[in-house]
Structure 1
Amino acid sequence: MNILVIGPGAIGSLWAIKLQQDGHQVAVFGRQTESHYQCQFGEHSYTFSNRQINDIKHADLILVTVKAWQVTSAFDSLARQIDPDTIMMLMHNGMGTVESIRTLLPTNPIVLATTTHGAFKPAPTQLFHTGQGETFIGAANEQGHRCQFLCDVLQHAFPEVHWHPQIEHALWRKLAVNCVINPLTAIHQCPNGNLAFPRYQAVISRLIAEVGAVMAAENIPVHLEELTTHIDCVITATSENKSSMHQDVYHRRKTEIDFITGYLLSRAKKHGIAVPENEALYHHIRTLEQQWESLI
């Protein structure tokens, strides 16, 4: 397949390399203005065409791995170049971007994805795979239901990959994890594993209870005990990792809080559900962002 990865950050670069290794024609569209993008992974260096219009026009699949807040702006300028049959796959933290893509690309098949693979770029051209995981994909519109074959394509390149008939369930489960881990590790500037310490348990329990109430109102199957166990397992499995929001706050970059906790708050408001713990974390992160934005 001709595959374009928009946003060759850590996860985008990891998928680009795995897909290229599997024999696909892979290009990227990144911030760098150079016509090629190189990335060192293990003992090998991989090269991709970058920011070429023909790669956009001829793509069979566009994998979108930019941060959630960058999705709409990325496609405002690229949408005119995208073939109406090109499959769009959104793979990023948070929820709430698919609506804008449906508007910009009304005829394209749209697939949503969530992955638990860990990746880290200590330098712009160096990549590490920091944690083995699995990926779920599923349809976001009617045309997307014809794309179940992608499960086999991605599975062959980078297992494990599963087709999820109700991908929103998997996305909400990932959102629950992110609502707990990302803002807490960002505020306290600690690795994920620190959240297992006793001093965090009470606030984590309250956060999970609030998220669970909103999930139930959204008709997403949820059992608080099982969800708590799942989040505890993620904290343990990624104990040495620093969340993306932790890194964004450390480097004074815009975070994805509006598409993680902010999305939860919007759904909670719709259902009239109070979520004070999550709201406090949201305002704390936004205050941090506003402090360094005022210095620019």
Structure 2
Amino acid sequence: MNIVIVGQGAIGLLWYHHLAKSPTNLVSISCSSRTISIPNKYKFTDIKNQSDQFPITIANDATFAEAELILVCVKSYHVKAAINAIKNKISTQTIIIFCHNGMGAYHDLSTLSQACLALLTTHGCKINKPFHAQHTGLGHHDLGLINGDMSPLIRENITATLAQALPTLAFTNSIKEKQWLKLAINCVINPITAVENIDNGQLLDKRFIPVITELIREIIAVAAHENINFEFNELKETILQVAQSTAKNCSSMRSDILQQRKTEIKYINGYIVSLARKAGIDVTNNEKLIQQVKALDV
């Protein structure tokens, strides 16, 4: 399969590395226009902490024109610009997969002729240095259609290609519900760990239970207005389980602040607040966390 990865961050390099292993895939990567220097090799540290260097193929207009599949692996606030930069270079038959945190990064998918999918991941990966990614944790992927149509054959081919490269992965017809679950988890874990400068596992301290409780209540109210239904105790247990299973991890938002990068708060808690304002729902705790994160943001 002819595949272009857009974005050379942690997730972009993770997918590039694993997809490029297959001799049946022709994989290239499109780097950010902000990238000063692009090497001819990248470094990858695998889940067993083994590091090596590998050749990297850079995408151009010809590879975009021939692409069957494009994985957009950029920060939420760069999604719109990334799509605008490539949408006139690709075929209407090309499948676009969005793989980013948060929701609302690209509001009007109906303007795209291409079928679009969302790819959610729980794999852990980080950038140690530019063009050096480290796979830090195994996880699961959920893939689902969010715009347009595709044949069962194409869907099966894409699912098989991605699943072979980086297990485990499943296609779901409930991608919206899964997007909301990931959003809810991120709305709690990311901002609190960022503001408090703590690892995920420290969220289990009882001093955080009151704010976690109120955040969940607000998220549930907004989700219900979008026809997504959560049960309070079940959602709370899921969030705390994620904090426990990733206890030693540094959340992406905390990492962004520590690395003096812009956070994705607008597309996480900010998405909740934007929907809440339209619906007249009080989300004071989400609003407070946004302001606290913005005070630390670049």
| RMSD (CA atoms) | 1.7
2:2 counterpart residue number: 2
Partner in structure 2 of residue 276 of structure 1: 284
Q: Deviations over 1:34-58 (max 9, x none)?
A: 3745223334322221242222221
Counting only pairs closer than 5 Å after superposition, residues 1-296 of structure 1 correspond to structure 2 as: 1-23=1-23, 24-31=25-32, 32=35, 33-34=37-38, 36-41=40-45, 42-103=50-111, 106-144=112-150, 147-149=154-156, 150-289=158-297, 292=298
Deviation for aligned residue 1:223:
1.1
Where does the alignment leave 5 or more consecutive residues of structure 1 unmatched? Answer: none
Partner secondary structure for residue 230 of structure 2: coil
Count of paired positions: 288
Percent identity, aligned pairs only?
35
Provide the C-alpha distance between the structure 2 equivalents of 1:73 and 1:236, rounded to a whole number of angstroms.
36
Amino acid corresponding to residue 172 of structure 1 in structure 2: W
CA, structure 1 residues 39+7, in 2 after alignment: closer, same or farther (shift >3 Å)? same
Give the 3-state SS of the residue equivalent to 1:140 in structure 2.
Answer: strand
Deviates further, 172-181 or 264-273: 264-273
Q: Structure 1 CA distance, aligned partners of 2:276 and 2:22? A: 43
Distance 1:145 1:173, change over 3 A: farther
Deviates most, 74-83 or 259-268: 74-83
The SS at the match of 1:120 is: strand
Letter in 1 for 2:146: A
Q: Distance in 2 between matches of 1:207 and 1:17?
A: 37
Counterparts of 1:216 and 1:92 in 2: how far apart (Å)? 23
Amino acid at match of 1:135: H
Letter in 2 for 1:40: F
Alpha-carbon spacing, 1:206–1:195, altered in 2? closer, same or farther (3 Å): same
Give how far 1:186 is off.
1.0
Contact residue 72 and residue 101 of structure 1 kept, 8 A: no
Q: Secondary structure at the match of 2:87?
A: helix
The CA distance in 2 between the partners of 1:60 and 1:148, in whole Å, is: 12
Of Structure 1 and Structure 2, the greater helix share is in 1
Q: Deviations over 1:79-138 (max 9, x none)?
A: 2211211100001000012434442xx211101111111111212232221111111111
The 8 Å contact of residues 187 and 268 in structure 2, kept in 1 or not, is answered as: yes
Secondary structure of 1:3's counterpart equals strand
After superposition, the Cα gap between the structure-2 partners of 1:82 and 1:101, relative to the gap in structure 1 and judged at 3 Å, is: farther
In the aligned structure 2, how far is the partner of 1:74 from the partner of 1:144? 23
TM-score normalised by L of structure 2: 0.91
- Check conservation: 1:181, 1:192, Cα contact below 8 A: yes
- Contact 2:143 2:175 survives alignment (8 Å): yes
Contact 1:212 1:224 in 2 (8 A): yes
Contact 2:122-2:140 within 8 A present in 1 as well? yes
Structure 2, unpaired ranges of 5+: none
Partners of 2:126 and 2:276 in 1: CA distance: 33
